[in-house]
Chain A
Amino acid sequence: MNEKEKPGTPDEALIRAALGGEEEAFRELMERYKNRAFHVALGITGDPDDALDVVQEAFVKAYYNLKEFRFGANFYTWFYRLLVNQAIDRWRKSSRSQTVPLDEKWLSEEVSPPESVMYPRTPEDLAQNRQLSGALTRAIADLSEYHRAVILLREVDGLAYEEIAEVLHCSVGTVMSRLHYARAKLKEALKGFREG
C-alpha cells in the first residue's frame, strides 16, 4: 500500500472493482480523496463554489477515464492531473470573465499595521483574523496558476517533488524553482505579522 493511501482496501483493488462495474468502489475512492482534492482545487481557483464544481467534474472525468489508468502508478497522481487541469481551466475562465478570482470576502479592507496581528494557531483563528487571511488570499491570488498549484501540492498535500512533476507534466527542476519562488513570495506577504 502506498503511503499516501489511507488504511483499508488498496486503491488498485478499488479501481479494479470500479472497472468491473462496482460503483460503490468508485465512491470509496472518491470519499478517500475528496477533501484533499477540494483543498488543492480551492487553492488554485480561490473560490469554494468553483472548487466544489472542479472536484465534482474531476471525479466524473476520472470515472469515465478509469480504464486509462495504468496499474502500478499512483491513483492520486493520476487523479490530481485531471483535478489540477480542471482547476486551472476553471480559474482561467473566471479570470477571462472578469470575476474576482479570489473570494472578496476574504480580502480585508482594513489597513492597520500588520504588526498588531498575530499568527493564528487554528483554522477558526485564521477565519477571524481578517487582516492576515486577506494578506494571504491576496498573495496567493498574485501567484500564477502554476506557482499556486506547485506550492499547494507541496505544502497542503505533501506531494514529493517527483510526484508534483508527474502531476504537472514538468521537470523536477521546474517544480523546485516554482516552489522556491512561490514560497519566497508568500513569506514576504506574511512578513510583519508576529508570533502569538
Chain B
Amino acid sequence: MDCKKVNRMLQDEIDGRLPPSDAAEVRRHVESCGSCAAEAAAYRRVGEMLRLWTTSRAGEKAPQLDSLWTRVRAGIEERKQPSEPASWVRRWLWLPAGAALAVLVLLFYPSDVSRAPFHPSSFEVAVEDLESDTATVALVDKGDDLPRVIWIIENDKT
C-alpha cells in the first residue's frame, strides 16, 4: 500500500470503519512511514483538541450547569399555559357582544319612525365602548336630542 492510498484511508482507520485486513495494512504502513505517521497523528490530534476545547469552555458554565434543572423546571412551568377555551366556545363568543349591541340600539333608538330626520346642530360626541373577545362597539352622540348610536366598530377579534 502506498502513501497516497494510506492517506485516503487514514480517517476511516481512525474511525474504525475499515475492514480488519485493510486496517491492519494501514497500521503496518504507518508504523514504517514517518510522513504517514505524522498525518495520522495530526488527524487524531483534531479530536483531542476539540475535546479539550469543549471541556475547557464548558468549565466557564459549570455552576450554571449544576443548577440546570432549576432553569429547565422554570421553562416547563412557563409553557404550561392555562387551557384555552374550546374552539366552539370561541366561535360563538360574538353572540353576547351582538346581543348587548342589539339591546343598546333598541334602548336608544326612537320608536316614532315618522319624525323628521335627525340633523343635530352640534355634536357632543361621547365614546363609550363595550368590549368583548369578539368586538368593540363605540358610541354615541349625546347632544340635546336623543342619544344615538353613530358608529360601530367591529374588530372581528376571532
Contact = CB atoms under 8 A, between A and B. Distances in A.
Contact of A190 (B17, B45, B64): B45
Interface stretch (B68-76, B99-107, B111-119): B68-76
A152 interface: yes
A16 interface: no
Contact of B56 (A23, A34, A123): A123
B51 interface: yes
Contact of B61 (A48, A133, A179, A180): A48
Secondary structure of the A contact surface, majority rule: helix
Nearest to B48: A119
Contacts of A161: 15, 17
A31 B71 CA distance: 13
Contacts of B1: none
Given A60-B79, A156-B51, A186-B50, A127 B56 contact: yes
Given A35-B65, A39-B55, A183-B11, A57 B50 contact: no
B57 A106 contact: yes
Contacts of B43: 183, 187
B15 A154 contact: yes
Interface string B33-45: 0000000001101
Interface residues of B, number: 32
Contact of A56 (B42, B49, B75): B75
B64 A52 contact: yes
Given A60-B79, A180-B11, A123 B46 contact: no
A96 interface: no
B46 A190 contact: yes
A181 to B, nearest CB: 10
A151 B69 contact: no
A79 to B, nearest CB: 13
Contacts of A191: 42
Interface in A29-58: 30-31, 34-35, 38-39, 42-43, 48-49, 51-52, 55-57
A64 B46 CA distance: 37
B58 interface: yes
Contacts of A152: 50, 54
B20 interface: no
B88 interface: no
B52 A120 contact: yes
Interface of B: 11, 15, 17, 42-43, 45-61, 64-65, 68-69, 71-73, 75-76, 79
Interface of A: 23, 27, 30-31, 34-35, 38-39, 42-43, 48-49, 51-52, 55-57, 59-60, 63-64, 106, 119-120, 122-127, 132-133, 136-137, 140, 151-152, 154-156, 161, 176, 179-180, 183, 186-187, 190-191
17 contacts: A48-B58, A48-B61, A52-B65, A55-B68, A119-B49, A120-B52, A122-B52, A123-B53, A126-B52, A132-B49, A133-B56, A140-B53, A152-B54, A155-B51, A186-B50, A187-B42, A187-B45
Q: Which 3 A-B pairs have the closest CB atoms?
A: A123-B56, A60-B75, A155-B47
